[in-house]
């Protein structure tokens, strides 16, 4: 239930703020996805170089969480969010005016350092305010609402690209950062009742991370989270090239195609929230994993059979997204639930694993890209199979589901 020590604020207002805060990640990626082919043309860059603007963001996003989480445990959630949004704003301006692909890549790295505080601190705030058995429903509700970000961002990004150029989405990110910076200063109370207790020295941070990695439940669910996120990032990193360049979809229509997949995310989050009332986290995750394998297998089968259509990509991907959204809130709640005093550290370490896997997914998709849909579909199937292996070998074991 809602903790009595939490600041007086309605559940709806918390959901709105935390959802917007968590959207810094999707906004930083999805808003400029329709511009990727145009960026390649503008800088005469290769697909791999342009993919690096995504992969470097995910690496920075992942690594900086290892600092942002412990900082929010030590000094509080509010100052970390304020500092992160300020850095995000400056880096977005740098990306807007970058004259070379190298400086754009550098700007994306600094963007990631600021943007990471959004989701990592938002998850920690959920743990500050809600008991573990309620956190699944809250995170699922946030996921349902947050589906609007990746649904609307590519559409808006396509409009900005058509009306201006590839630089316009970065101006939009700067405006988003400025608005969130102001909203945090004006409305956010501090929620971390344990601030000041968590160690901030490198030794103390390392000790906390060692505690987390030594916990079987955390390891199991963090692995499942990372591999699941790697699967959805295959679509994020490869969809614009597959749908626009390979299948000939217009950039202005890309956002609408992307919205089909986001609808799957919204449906999966809704299902996870409702199933959380009657099923345990590993049971909900099990349904999600089954959908990953079925959907990715269908896409790969169609691709290798020579069926190269937009529908052959989007329909299985929508099903895959339903599975992703069933897994993510349940696995995240299960991984950070046992650690109320170091919730920021737990959230950051789980996020780090997701980011590293996502960066790897971007490079894998780029390496397998052969001008058809086969490489993309094969990468997706690989991550689905790995997630299924993690679930069967680790999650079921720690939940007791795998015991006779």
Nearest to 255 by CA among 2, 22, 34: 34
Q: 62-66, 246-250, 315-319: which has the highest mean pLDDT?
A: 315-319
- Please tell me the distance from the alpha carbon of residue 282 to that of residue 4, in angstroms, as a whole number: 29
Residue with the two structure tokens 């986001």: 262
User: Tokens in use for 180?
Assistant: 């969130």
User: Tokens in use for 13?
Assistant: 């207002």
Nearest to 74 by CA among 376, 345, 398: 345
H helices of 31-76, in order, are 36-43, 47-75
Global pTM value: 0.70
pLDDT tens sequence across 211-251: 888 888 888 898 999 999 899 888 877 887 888 888 888 87
Q: 81-90, 271-280, 387-396: which has the highest mean pLDDT?
A: 81-90
Q: What are phi and psi of 89, to 5 degrees?
A: -65, -50
pLDDT tens sequence across 190-211: 777 666 655 566 777 788 888 8
- Please tell me the distance from the alpha carbon of residue 18 to that of residue 21, in angstroms, as a whole number: 5
Look at residue 309 and give its three-state secondary structure.
Answer: coil
- Please tell me the distance from the alpha carbon of residue 340 to that of residue 342, in angstroms, as a whole number: 6
Of 149 and 256, the structure prediction assigns the larger pLDDT to: 256
12-188+202-399 has CATH 1.10.760.10 classification: no
279 C-beta neighbours (distance < 10 Å), count: 16
Annotated domain spans of the chain? 12-188+202-399
User: Tokens in use for 33?
Assistant: 């996805």
What pLDDT, on the 0 to 100 scale, is given for residue 402?
40
- Please tell me the distance from the alpha carbon of residue 73 to that of residue 267, in angstroms, as a whole number: 33
pLDDT tens sequence across 128-146: 777 666 666 677 666 665 6
């Amino acid at each position: 239930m809602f903790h009595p020590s939490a600041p007086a604020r309605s559940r709806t207002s918390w959901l709105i703020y935390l959802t917007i805060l968590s959207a810094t990640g999707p906004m930083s990626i999805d808003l400029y996805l329709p511009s990727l082919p145009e960026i390649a043309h503008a800088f005469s860059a290769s697909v791999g170089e342009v993919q690096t603007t995504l992969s470097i963001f995910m690496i920075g996003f992942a690594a900086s969480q290892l600092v942002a989480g412990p900082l929010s445990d030590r000094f509080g959630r509010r100052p970390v969010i304020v500092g992160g949004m300020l850095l995000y704003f400056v880096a977005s301006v740098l990306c807007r005016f970058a004259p070379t692909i190298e400086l754009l890549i550098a700007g994306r790295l600094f963007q990631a350092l600021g943007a990471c505080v959004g989701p990592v601190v938002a998850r920690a705030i959920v743990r500050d305010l809600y008991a573990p058995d309620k956190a699944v429903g809250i995170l699922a509700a946030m996921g349902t609402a947050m589906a609007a970000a990746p649904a609307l961002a590519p559409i808006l990004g396509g409009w900005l690209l058509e009306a201006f150029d590839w630089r316009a989405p970065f101006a939009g990110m700067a405006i988003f950062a400025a608005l969130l910076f102001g909203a945090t200063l004006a409305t956010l109370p501090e929620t971390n009742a344990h601030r000041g207790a968590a160690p901030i020295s490198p030794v103390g941070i390392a000790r906390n991370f060692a505690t987390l990695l030594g916990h079987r439940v955390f390891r199991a669910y963090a692995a499942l989270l990372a591999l699941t996120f790697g699967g959805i990032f295959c679509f994020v990193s490869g969809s614009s090239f597959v749908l626009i360049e390979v299948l000939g979809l217009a950039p202005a229509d890309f956002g609408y195609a992307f919205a089909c997949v986001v609808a799957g995310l919204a449906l999966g989050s809704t299902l996870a929230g409702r199933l959380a009332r009657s099923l345990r986290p590993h049971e909900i995750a099990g349904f999600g994993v089954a959908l990953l394998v079925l959907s990715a297998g269908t896409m790969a089968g169609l691709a290798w059979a020579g069926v190269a259509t937009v529908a052959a990509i989007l329909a299985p991907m929508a099903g895959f997204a339903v599975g992703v959204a069933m897994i993510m809130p349940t696995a995240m709640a299960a991984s950070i639930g046992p650690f109320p005093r170091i919730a920021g550290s737990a959230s950051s370490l789980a996020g780090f694993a997701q980011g590293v896997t996502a960066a790897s997914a971007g490079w894998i998709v780029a390496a397998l890209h052969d001008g058809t849909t086969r490489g993309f579909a094969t990468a997706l199937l690989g991550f689905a199979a790995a997630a299924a292996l993690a679930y069967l070998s680790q999650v079921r074991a720690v939940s007791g589901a795998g015991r006779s």
